[in-house]
A and B are shown apart, each in its own frame.
Chain A
Amino acid sequence: MDVYIKPSEKVAENEKKVVKLDDICEIVAPTKILEKLKKLEVVRIEAEKERNYLIDITDIIRLIQKVAPDATINNVGAKSTVIAYNPQLKKQNPVIKVILIGFVSLVLMAGSATAIMSFHTDAQIPQIFKNYHRLFFGEETEKPVLIYVSYSIGLASGIIIFFNHFFGKKIMDDPTPIDVEMTLYDHDVTETIVELLSDKDKQNPSEKEMGESHGLK
């Protein structure tokens, strides 16, 4: 009898108190035991506070072996699952959210404006453009407007192509570079949480609870 499980790397929970096997992994098994496996209790959340729980693949195997001792268990997913329990998650105020988004947008807007200007100064772009103007037209000018305008248009189209969308409309179906960065970042954070929690597990193996969140989200 073959059982295939595919645990997720990270699961966010905000209301369920009892996390079942079905919540953290996908299970493929013969129908007669599938329902039983899905209802297996992985962890019971007791404290009503933000905390990360680490479920190792060995914990899951042990659980399954209890109800199906003769099953061959094949793991096709992650080796450990982080259950991020955060009771505040569902309560986040939409007004605060809008304010936060506005604030971060302002930070990024002001910051990238300054960054591009400081790059121009650093790289002496205005001087280069003046030189271009002299080379092409043989006359000195303080403001080579033509090249400024075409450069600005080029810059705008460059950023839009780079970020792959224009006011909510995606140019191609690919994820944008920020999507990629966000995924990488989430992945790194999850990996770090797993490392920190399993270190703590090794230090006090008797402790049933799977460690504090270390202030990470």
Chain B
Amino acid sequence: MRVIKTILVILLGFGSGAVISGAVFAFISVLGVIPRLAGKTGTEKSIHIYEQAIVIGGVFGTVWGFFEFPVPIPKVLGVVIAFCIGIFYGCMAVSIAEVINVIPILTRRMRLEQGLFLFILAIAIGKLAGSLAYYVVPGFFLPD
């Protein structure tokens, strides 16, 4: 009985993983963060390397999230990685806003044709302020 249950649990885990990864990574790739980064850096020919990076990152994130084994890295590298996570999430947040056309609709409703650059700057500054408030101001969100 225990053997059958074990097999069932393994199947359950495997299936959940296959479906969830499809959903999460389809979401990431639909947002268009990867083509944008590749286009901006002029490295369109290397997108297969980028796919590999996502595979490795996704698997590492899952395994590490569950088992939380220690990963000894120097502090500097930690800072660099945190910076990279920030870039990725910044791209993703703006992409989500773009998919639902927040900026085009706002500018149309307000009949504004200029100042797009300022709106984007405002969004960036707002995100920066929000992120700092979240992490730095004690009791704002995280318990102090």
List, in ascending order, chain B residues with CB within 8 A of A179's CB. Answer: 47
Name the distance in Å between A119's Cβ and chain B's nearest Cβ: 5
A112 x B29 contact (CB < 8 A): no
B35 x A155 contact (CB < 8 A): no
> Secondary structure at chain B's binding surface: helix, strand, loop or mixed?
helix
Pick from B12, B65, B82: contact of A116, CB under 8 Å: B65
Q: Is A34 an interface residue (CB 8 A)?
A: no
Q: Please encode chain B, from 18 to 45, with 1 for each CB lying within 8 Å of some chain A CB and 0 for all others.
A: 1111101110111011111111111110
List, in ascending order, chain B residues with CB within 8 A of A151's CB. Answer: 13-14, 16-17, 62, 66
Binding site for A on B (CB under 8 A): 2, 5-6, 8-22, 24-26, 28-30, 32-44, 46-67, 80-82, 84-85, 87-89, 92
List, in ascending order, chain A residues with CB within 8 A of B52's CB. Answer: 105, 167-168
Q: Is A67 an interface residue (CB 8 A)?
A: no
Q: In whole angstroms, how far apart are the Cα atoms of A2 and B63 in the complex? A: 64
Chain A interface, number of residues (Cβ within 8 angstroms): 62
A152 x B62 contact (CB < 8 A): yes
24 pairs of residues in contact across A and B, judged by CB atoms under 8 Å: A101-B46, A106-B53, A111-B33, A111-B57, A111-B92, A116-B24, A116-B57, A133-B9, A136-B9, A146-B6, A147-B10, A148-B13, A150-B13, A152-B62, A156-B58, A159-B22, A162-B26, A163-B25, A163-B55, A165-B51, A181-B30, A181-B34, A182-B44, A185-B36
A146 x B18 contact (CB < 8 A): no
**Contact residues of A between 86 and 135, Cβ < 8 Å to B:** 89, 92, 97, 100-101, 103-117, 119-120, 125-126, 129, 132-133
What residue of chain B has the Cβ atom nearest to residue A146's Cβ?
B9
Q: Is A176 an interface residue (CB 8 A)?
A: yes
Pick from A149, A167, A181, A182: contact of B13, CB under 8 Å: A149
Q: Is A158 an interface residue (CB 8 A)?
A: yes
Q: In whole angstroms, how far apart are the Cα atoms of A155 and B60 in the complex? A: 11
Given A136-B8, A146-B6, A152-B63; A158-B21 close (CB under 8 Å):
yes
B18 x A163 contact (CB < 8 A): no
List, in ascending order, chain B residues with CB within 8 A of A74's CB. Answer: none
A185 x B62 contact (CB < 8 A): no
A105 x B49 contact (CB < 8 A): yes
Name the distance in Å between B10's Cβ and chain A's nearest Cβ: 4
Q: Is A76 an interface residue (CB 8 A)?
A: no
Q: In whole angstroms, how far apart are the Cα atoms of A185 and B64 in the complex? A: 33
A159 x B59 contact (CB < 8 A): yes
